[in-house]
Amino acid sequence: MVGMARSDRPQHLFSSLSSETLAVVAGRPERTPDSPLNVPITPASTYVAGGSLEYGRYGNPTWEAFEDVMGALEGGRAVMYASGLAAAAATLSLVPEGGAVVVPRHAYNGTVGLMQDAARRGRLEVREVDVSRPNALVDAAEGAAMVWIESPTNPALEVVDIAETAAAARTRGALVVVDNTFATPLVQQPLALGADVVVHSATKLLAGHSDALAGVAVVADDPTYELLEAYRRLHGATPGALEAYLATRGLRTLAVRFERAQDNARRLAEHLERHEDVAVVRYPGFGTVLTFEPKGGATAAHRVTTASELVVCATSLGGVETSWERRRRWAGEPVTVPDALIRVSVGIEGFTDLWTDVAQALTRG
């Protein structure tokens, strides 16, 4: 089949290296004199016939560089897509017609929206569960084709035990998918914990600079890899070469950005907890995203998020800059997400500058 040349590429060359090192060394060109250190951007809609790529929708060397790094970090084979939701759609295509998918009700609203849309069309059945209840995913997994884990969830920040859930879901015959966008492979590697597919919005922490949309699915087994690669080709869910380059470049600094932002997030959570105008703070203890609810409800939350000068009021997350928004400003957000909840994506600024701005926004809000 055309565009399938990568099946013979070695995938576990780097099994002894740490994630921090893999993020730097994987996906590089061969070390021949005068070759660049980075795989260049290849803007190509077609290639000279007779090779393994043939056409721009089938493959691109710049995608492959990103896929090689992500495959190394997650311990599998990666397929890059145009966005996180394109990766989610490709992964959902693994559910047979009419099959049931179990998903946390507070999973990313675009993911749940995609599933609900497929359900309305009669393609599949969605079982939305409350993962703050122990075993909720497993209890709903009987007869399901897929169990979709997001841990932590966006934006409720609920955490589930991936290994336990994956093992129980598998004995019930379900495919196990983990959206690893919030934790990144630096915190957890779901394939090693028993998941079949890992998906990411690479738009967020992996690319990391709020300048590119991209997604990726990583799998452990070759038949699933072939299906996901075929989906990209057949549905045209292809990333741009520039986005692939930016995402790969982002991965090079993932470990330092993550460490720094996580440190800021921990400190911000502590400071918010002690602030008199804050009612609730949620932080799972790791990662770069936290949420809080100011006293005074949705009106106060709106005022706080628009009173900051350093922190930008914007959706999305995982950039080097700290951003926040009141989540319920989105009509698609479930009503079980508190009306005043502000989701904060913590960046890598100096902490004192960050806290000074957040504190003045709280006072003005």
Ligand X SMILES: *Cc1c(COP(=O)(O)O)cnc(C)c1O
Site for ligand X, rule CB under 6 A: 83-85, 108, 110-111, 150, 154, 179, 181-182, 201, 203-204, 213, 215
For the question of residue 329 being annotated catalytic, the response is no
Q: How far is the CB of 153 from ligand X (least distance, A)?
A: 8
| Closest separation in Å from C-beta 155 to ligand X | 9
245 annotated active-site: no
Point out the residue whose Cβ comes nearest to ligand X: 84
Other CB atoms within 10 A of residue 2 CB? 13
- Residue nearer to ligand X on the CB measure, 3 or 333: 333
The residue from 57, 123, 172, 303 that is catalytic is 57
Annotated catalytic residue: which of 6, 58, 77, 108?
108
Q: Name the nearest CA neighbour of 205 among 23, 350, 338.
A: 23
From CA 242, how far away is CA 212, in angstroms rounded? 8
- The residue (of 264 and 345) whose beta carbon lies closer to ligand X is 345
Give 60 or 151: the residue with its C-beta nearer to ligand X.
151
Query: Please, what is the minimum distance in Å from the beta carbon of residue 154 to ligand X?
Result: 4
**Sign of the CA dihedral running 148, 153, 158, 159:** positive
Q: In Å, what is the CA distance from 309 to each residue of 136, 358, 360?
A: 41, 9, 9
Least Cβ distance, residue 215 to ligand X (angstroms): 5
Buried-exposed string 263-284: b where 16+ CB fall within 10 A, e elsewhere: ebbbebbebbeebebbeebbbb
Is 263 designated active site? Answer: no
The gap from C-alpha 29 to its chain's centroid, in whole angstroms, comes to 26
User: Of the two residues 187 and 279, which places its CB atom closer to ligand X in the complex?
Assistant: 187
Active-site residue flag, 179:
yes
Helices 241-252 and 254-273 cross at an angle (nearest 10°) of 70
- How far is Cα 205 from Cα 203, in angstroms, rounded to an integer? 7
Catalytic residue among 77, 81, 179, 232: 179
Per annotation, catalytic residue among 204, 257, 326, 343: 204
What is the set of active-site residues? 57, 108, 179, 204
